[in-house]
């Protein structure tokens, strides 16, 4: 008789851990999926990802509301450029005007007049009995050579200051303003002129040229024509 070896009891298989009830998949289109509970194995520690801050571009203040800020259109840019050019030109002109006005005050009011004393060549350059008009525009004098000598007459009318003209055919000075007439000597004989033309000082310079000095005047009515410098004897 064989002894029956007692059977070692088979170790009991551990009962399977109770599975969590499976969530039923909702039918397609049946609404939002319900949140699936995280399994304990999936619950891993999550390392937070720190993302660098991205700068947000600000909209330009001038951009119109509701429109995206973008590059100006060519027409708009052209319009702005034309106005900028106009403003720049106006500013430059105003600056130049202001500067010139300021500079003007830095200079005194000076009236540039022809020289009062000047040389007019040698006596033999003047013909006897002739009225020489070559200096009337430059110096305002007529040079006359008479048998007594050479004298310098003023070209200013003694009425109201117009400039008479020498009329060779009529042998007189005639004022175009009010008709006064003067002889070759300067004596007035017609029109409203109240007195003869004036004479200037005349002399001979060291170099033999005639020197006229307009700063010295001689008036006939005062008896000054007889003074030495009123006539240059030749």
> Which residue ranges make up the site for ligand FES (CB under 6 A)?
157, 159-162, 175, 177-180, 191-193
Judged by CB, which is closer to ligand FES: 156, or 204?
Answer: 156
By C-alpha distance, which of 138, 153, 146 is closest to 201? 153
> CB of 192: closest distance to ligand FES in angstroms?
5
Judged by CB, which is closer to ligand FES: 121, or 191?
Answer: 191
> CB of 230: closest distance to ligand FES in angstroms?
22
Judged by CB, which is closer to ligand FES: 131, or 202?
Answer: 131
Give the C-alpha separation, 44 to 5, whole Å: 51
> CB of 170: closest distance to ligand FES in angstroms?
16
Judged by CB, which is closer to ligand FES: 136, or 150?
Answer: 136
Judged by CB, which is closer to ligand FES: 193, or 232?
Answer: 193
Judged by CB, which is closer to ligand FES: 126, or 166?
Answer: 166
> CB of 133: closest distance to ligand FES in angstroms?
17
> CB of 181: closest distance to ligand FES in angstroms?
9
> CB of 176: closest distance to ligand FES in angstroms?
8
First vs last C-alpha separation in the chain: 197
Give the C-alpha separation, 122 to 226, whole Å: 22
């Amino acid at each position: 008789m064989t002894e029956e070896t007692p059977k070692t009891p088979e170790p009991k298989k551990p009962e399977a851990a109770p599975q969590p009830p499976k969530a039923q998949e909702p039918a397609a289109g049946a609404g939002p999926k319900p949140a699936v509970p995280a399994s304990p194995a999936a619950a891993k520690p999550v390392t937070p990802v720190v993302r660098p801050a991205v700068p947000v571009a600000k909209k330009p203040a001038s951009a119109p509301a509701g429109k995206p800020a973008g590059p100006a259109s060519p027409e708009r840019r052209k319009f702005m450029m034309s106005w900028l050019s106009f403003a720049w030109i106006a500013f430059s002109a105003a600056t130049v005007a202001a500067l010139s006005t300021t500079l003007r005050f830095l200079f005194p009011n000076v009236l540039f007049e022809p020289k009062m004393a000047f040389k007019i060549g040698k006596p033999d350059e003047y013909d006897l009995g002739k009225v020489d008009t070559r200096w009337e525009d430059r110096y305002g004098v007529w040079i006359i050579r008479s048998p007594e000598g050479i004298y310098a007459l003023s070209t200013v009318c003694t009425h109201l200051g117009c400039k008479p003209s020498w009329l060779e055919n009529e042998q007189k000075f005639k004022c175009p303003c009010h008709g006064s007439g003067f002889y070759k000597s300067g004596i007035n004989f017609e029109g409203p002129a109240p007195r003869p033309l004036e004479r200037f000082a005349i002399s001979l310079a060291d170099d033999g040229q005639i020197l006229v000095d307009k700063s010295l005047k001689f008036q006939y009515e005062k008896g000054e024509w007889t003074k030495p410098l009123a006539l240059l004897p030749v």
